[in-house]
Amino acid sequence: KEAAPATPAAETSSTMKMATDMAISLIPQLTQQLGVTDTQAEGGMGALFQVAKSQLSADEFSELGQGVPDMSSLLAAAPSLASKSGSSSLGALSNLGGLASSLGGLGQLTQQFEALGLSSEMITQFASIAIEYFSNSSSDDNTGSLLEKGLMSILK
């Protein structure tokens, strides 16, 4: 009777290990395909996950986070932008919703990528590789489709 509760825990542990290995192997895939450093790959993905977080509901982002166990360290790797005189207008734009929101998010994302030494053209390349990566993963979750939904505003 005591062994029964251990089975779901073992399955959860195995699933988490697979998901962790999957998320960790995304970074080398980005570095190989795009010729970027680990720091650039981690920071770029963190910036993309920040955009997804702003576009998804709390439940959806939580589900996305379950598919990307190292999400918190990737989010922390994203460059934080020092407040500049123009950033308050970007914040005001994001509160208007719709097109202004995606322009504000894209502007911030562009600044974050530039802070990493990456061009703005790399944004869609990072997003495409990550969405394809998580969509083709062997897990049964919908991490790829959630990431795509979270990044839809910048991929249009």
| Selection from 86-90, 92-96, 120-124 with the highest mean pLDDT | 120-124
Comparing 112 with 154, the larger pLDDT belongs to 112
- Residue 109: what pLDDT? 93
The encoded tokens of residue 48 equal 């993309």
At 2-61, the pLDDT tens digits run: 444 444 455 445 544 444 455 558 999 999 999 999 999 999 999 999 999 999 999 999
Give dist(CA 65, CA 80) in Å, integer. 20
Judge contact between 22 and 137, C-beta under 8 A: yes
Q: Helices then strands (H, E): number in the chain?
A: 8, 0
- Residue 94: what pLDDT? 40
Average pLDDT over residues 81-92: 49
CA-angle at 29, arms to 24 and 34, nearest 5°: 135
Judge contact between 69 and 23, C-beta under 8 A: yes
Give dist(CA 141, CA 64) in Å, integer. 9
